[in-house]
Structure 1
Amino acid sequence: MSVHFDLTHLVSGDFECLEPADPAWLDQEEYWEDFNARFFNSNGRVYDTARDSNVKTWLTAPDRAPFSTMAEQLIDDLSGRVDLTDVDLVLLAHWMPDLHLGTSVTNFAQHKLGIDNGLGFAVSDRGPSAPLFAIDMAARYLEKGKRKALVMTMDQKHLLYRTPLVDELQPRNAGAILLLEADGAGGMQYGGYTRAANVPEAEVVGHIAQVCSDAGLDRKDVTVIAAPDVVSLVADGGPAAPYEMDRLCAGPFAALADMQAFADSVLLITYYNGELVTVLLQLASASEACA
Structure 2
Amino acid sequence: MLGVAIAITLMVVDHRRHDSLQQLRDTVAIVNYPIQLAAETPGDFIKWTSESISNYNHLLDENRRLNKENLLLQGGMQRFKALEEENQLLRDQLGASLRVGERVTLAEMTKVDLSPYRQQIWINRGSNAGVFTGQAVIDAHAIMGQVIEVTPFRSAILLITDTLHSIPVQVLRTGLRTVAKGTGRINNLELPYLPRSADVRVGDLLVSSGLGGRYPSDYPVARITSVGRDPNGATTIAAAPLARLAVDEQVMLVWSLDEKLQAVPVDEPAEESADEPVNEPADEPADEAEQGESEE
User: TM-score, normalization: structure 1?
Assistant: 0.24
- More relative contact order in 1 or in 2 (CA 8 Å, sep 6+)? 1
The structure whose Rg is larger is: 2
